[in-house]
Chain A
Amino acid sequence: MDPDLALLLNGVVSGLLLGGLYAAAAAGLSISFGMLDVVNIAHPAFMVLGALIVALLWAATGLDPLLLSILLAPAFWALGAGLYVIYHHFFERRGDEAIQGLAFFFGVMFIVEVGLVLAVGPEQHFVDAAYAATTWRLGEIDVPLRMLVPATVALAAIGALALFLRHSFTGRAIAAVAQDRDALRLLAIDPIRIKRLAFGISLAFAGLAGGALVVVQPVDAWSGHVFIGRVFAIVIMGGLSSLGGCVLAALAFGVVENVTASFFGPSWSPAVAFGCLLLVLAVRPQGLFGRMA
Chain B
Amino acid sequence: MSDAIIPALPRPAPPRRLGHAGFWLAAAAAAAILILALRGMGSEYAYFAATFVLQYVVLATAWNILGGYAGYVNFGAAAFFAAGAYTTVAVGKAFGLGLLPCIGIAAMVGGALGLGTGILTLRLRGAYFAIATLCLSVVLQTFIVNWSYVGGSRGAYILRPRDVPFGFDSYGGYLCAVVLVLAAAAIAIARSIEVSRLGLGLAALRDDEAAAEAAGVPTLRLKLIATSISGAMMAVAGAPLPYLGSYIEPTSAFGLSYAVNAIAMPLIGGTASWAGPLIGAVLLSSLQQAATVTISSAANLLIVGVVLVVFVCVAPRGIIGLFRRRR
Which A residues lie at the B interface, using CB under 8 A? 33, 37, 39, 41, 86, 90-91, 94, 96, 98-104, 106-111, 113-115, 117-118, 122, 225, 228-229, 232-233, 236, 267-268, 270-271, 274-275, 277-278, 281-282, 285
Contacts and interface: CB of A to CB of B under 8 A. Distances in A.
Contacts of A115: 302
A111 to B, nearest CB: 4
Interface in B140-161: 142-143, 145-146
B210 interface: no
- A-B interface, 7 closest residue pairs, ranked by CB to CB distance from nearest: A110-B305, A107-B308, A107-B309, A271-B142, A111-B305, A100-B312, A90-B313
User: Among A106, A228, A229, which residue has the most Cβ atoms of chain B within 10 A?
Assistant: A106
Given A103-B267, A278-B120, 11 more contacts: A90-B316, A104-B309, A106-B263, A107-B264, A108-B309, A109-B305, A110-B305, A110-B308, A232-B135, A270-B142, A281-B124
A274 B136 CA distance: 8
A102 B264 contact: no
B293 interface: no
A33 B299 CA distance: 30
Contact of A267 (B71, B136, B146, B256): B146
B202 to A, nearest CB: 14
Contact of B130 (A102, A107, A275): A102
A99 B270 CA distance: 12
B146 A114 contact: no
Nearest to A37: B127
A267 B145 contact: yes
Contacts of B97: none
B218 interface: no
A104 B312 contact: yes
Contact of B299 (A39, A90, A118, A225): A118
A166 to B, nearest CB: 25
Contacts, number: 125
Contacts of A281: 120-121, 124, 128, 131-132, 135
B134 interface: yes
A91 B312 CA distance: 9
A113 B136 CA distance: 24
A79 to B, nearest CB: 15
B37 interface: no
B171 to A, nearest CB: 33
A98 B73 contact: yes
B145 A110 contact: no
A100 B256 CA distance: 18
A99 B299 contact: no
Interface in B279-312: 298-299, 301-302, 304-309, 312
